[in-house]
Amino acid sequence: MQETYNLNAPVTAANFVQLPELSPKLTEATDKAHEIVYRYIMGEITMDEYDKEVNDFINKYKEIKDAYNAEIKKYVN
């Protein structure tokens, strides 16, 4: 049923602002975020390792957040 109606679809900046040049990197970042969370939940990494991987993730994919923030400011401000 969830697949049929997509009841829990996440709403992100990508739903409102399209930045096609970031699409491959956004997919990569989403996959990496899921991987980090999965590895922590499954006990494959410690909390300290999780914190380090999240920090590395934030630094690596910061340009995505910055690009969306810059684009959204064109419409909000």
- DSSP one-letter code for 19: -
In this structure, are residues 51 and 76 in contact, taking their beta carbons and an 8 Å threshold? no
**Region for residue 17 given its phi and psi (left: phi exceeds 0; alpha: psi -120 to 50; beta: otherwise):** beta
What is the tens place of the pLDDT at every residue in 2-21? 556 666 777 776 677 788 89
pLDDT at 23: 86
Considering Cα of 67, then 26, then 12, then 42, what sign does the dihedral take? negative
Number of domains in the chain: 1
pLDDT at 75: 80
pLDDT at 30: 92
pLDDT at 37: 97
What is the tens place of the pLDDT at every residue in 49-76? 999 999 999 999 999 999 988 988 888 8
Structural domain of residue 44, as residue ranges? 2-76
Task: Please report, for the chain, how many H helices and E strands are present, in that order.
Answer: 4, 0
